[in-house]
Amino acid sequence: MKLLASLGTLLALSSTWLNPVSAKSATGDRVLVLVPKQESSKHYSLFLDSLVTRGFDLSITTASNSSVSLQMDGQRLFDHAILLAPAAKKIGNSMAPKDFVRFVNDGGNLVVAAGSELSEFYRKLAMQFGVEFEPRGSWAVDHLGFVKQDNGTDHRMIATTGFAKAPAVLSSETVGDKEQLPVFYKGIAHKYQANNPLLIPLLVGEPTTYSGLKADDKKASANTADVDAPLSGRSVGLVSVFQTRGNARVAFSGSTAVFSNALFRNAHNSNQQFITDVTQWTLQEKSVLRSTSHRHYLQSTGEQPDHYLVSSSISYEIDLSVYKNNAWHPYIADDVQFEAIMLDPYIRATLNHSKANAKDIATYHGDIKLPDRYGTFTFRVNYKRTGYSNVDVRDTVAIWPLRHDGYPRFLSAAYPYYAASFVMVLGFLAL
């Protein structure tokens, strides 16, 4: 069986290399999906089929498969990874959480689905990104906002509309003006740092939600959260996303059930649209910003010299695009700023959207007067907005002082003194 599983993985990898599919993601279409058992994938068939429909090439294997690897000869074998085996104590032959951290640092994207029985492997991996899952065996519980089932005493299946205000991640279909359908959720909660600029708690609990044991569980242990756990209300994290400074993306869900067929397509919830939004963002199918070009030049000549002089009038332009709906489009905003920095910003000016000279580019322009200070400056556009890729464009520019003959021969402010001198001379001659 292990040999067959290894052969299956190798065949999946070879099909990825030999028959590439047109990627819908801005970073690639190769996806590694890890499940507890090979037959477990059928429980997530609707979700996995939606990924195939969106143009991704899936390689599905078990977490225990010893041939699983994220890299070979220093190159990534996959562009994205989806972990659906929360109880797995190890992945592959000897993979550690640091291997997935390295995968993300190299530009890979990661979706992590946990559960009440999550292993230490998952817990350590999540803590690398500022997400701390509750103790093993605990659940997100709501005695008022639970989903009624055949077993009405199980309050672990909760319904929540605790969506974050992140239009770059969640679409209007999920958090529109009309009545919102809740997300059905069954799993573990996590703590999140509200002041972490890289982390977005996309889905949190209702005011009546708390983290603890289910009501009929009598086997509380020392490492299990009890019913009176302090994590409650909006502090109960359910689904969070993380974007690194290098623009790789990671999503954490405390529930594998939200991806399952039982909840993925249900007329009474918004699980399908919510999970689609989360995975589209994480796999970089939307809200991906890039700068295709930038330039600066003298207003008088339209040329970029080797250096500028103090108080010169220059123009700065940058072209921005955003990836959405499977194509690049002009990015339109009114808060793109230019900075001229030497230790501290000497100039900070908002650039104006001037034109769309191509169907996928928006040009931002600003007329800048350089400071009356010489030195080595950095011209920078550092654009960071919630849910969008970071754009950080820098140029190192020298600003020189004027030469001795570059100053005006006569200063207008000194005209009274010039006149006084001539009057004195004329008066002396008259006498």
3-class secondary structure for 318-381?
Answer: EEEEEEECCEEEECCCCCCEEEEEECEEEEEEECEEEEEEECCEEEEEEEEECCCCCEEEEEEE
Percent helix, strand and coil across the chain, each rounded to 5?
20, 35, 45
| Buried-state track 10-47, b at ≥16 Cβ within 10 A, e below 16 | eebbeebeeeeeebbbbbbbbbbbbbbeeebbebbebb
Strands 313-324 and 361-369: antiparallel
Residue 188's closest CA among 265, 105, 254?
254
pLDDT of residue 9: 43
For residue range 117-133, what is the model confidence (pLDDT) as tens digits? 999 999 999 999 999 99
Q: Cα 307 vs. chain centroid, distance in angstroms?
A: 36
Residue 12 in this model has a pLDDT that exceeds 70: no
The structure's pTM equals 0.85
Contact 215, 302 (CB under 8 A): no
* pLDDT of 353 strictly over 50: yes
State how far the Cα of 207 lies from the Cα of 176, in Å rounded to an integer: 21
User: Mean of the pLDDT values across residues 364-374?
Assistant: 95
Task: Note the pLDDT tens digit of each residue in 321-335.
Answer: 999 988 999 999 999
pLDDT of 22 = 47
Residues of the chain with pLDDT > 70: what percent?
89
pLDDT in the model for residue 186: 94
| pLDDT band, residue 221 (cuts 50/70/90) | very low
Rg (CA), the chain: 29
Instruction: Report the pLDDT value the prediction gives residue 427, as an integer from 0 to 100.
Output: 87
Give the pLDDT mean for 295-306. 94
Residue 226 has pLDDT above 50, yes or no: no
Read off the tokens for 134.
């509750």
Q: How confident is the model over 289-309, as a mean pLDDT?
A: 95
Torsional class of 44: left (φ above 0), alpha (ψ -120 to 50), beta (otherwise): alpha
Q: Residue 23 — pLDDT band, cuts 50, 70, 90? A: low
- pLDDT for 385: 95
Burial (CB < 10 A; 0-12, 13-18, 19+), residue 254, is buried
Spatial neighbors of 5 by CB under 8 A, at least 6 apart, are 38, 61, 62, 65, 67
User: Residue with structure tokens 């708390």?
Assistant: 210
Give which of 41, 120, 130 is closest to 86, Cα–Cα.
120
Closest CA to 56 of 28, 18, 26: 28
Shortest CA distance to 83 belongs to which of 98, 100, 66, 67? 100
Q: Is the pLDDT of residue 109 over 60?
A: yes
Identify which of 62-76, 146-160, 284-298 has the greatest average pLDDT. Answer: 284-298
Give alpha helix (H) positions in 66-172: 97-105, 120-127
Question: Residue 215: is its pLDDT beyond 60?
Answer: no
pLDDT recorded at residue 263: 92
Calculate the average pLDDT of the chain: 87
**pLDDT top residue among 384 and 6:** 384
**Cα-flanking dihedrals φ and ψ of residue 374, to 5°?**
-95, 155
Whether the CB-CB separation of 204 and 238 falls below 8 Å is answered with yes
- Asked if 388 contacts 364 with a C-beta cutoff of 8 angstroms, the reply is no
152 vs 300, residue with greater confidence: 300
Contact 281, 239 (CB under 8 A): no
- What's the pLDDT score for residue 405? 76
Q: What is the mean pLDDT of residues 241-248?
A: 96
Give residues with Cβ within 8 angstroms of 365, minimum separation 6: 315, 316, 317, 351, 352, 354
Sign of the Cα pseudo-torsion (294, 296, 302, 307, in order): negative
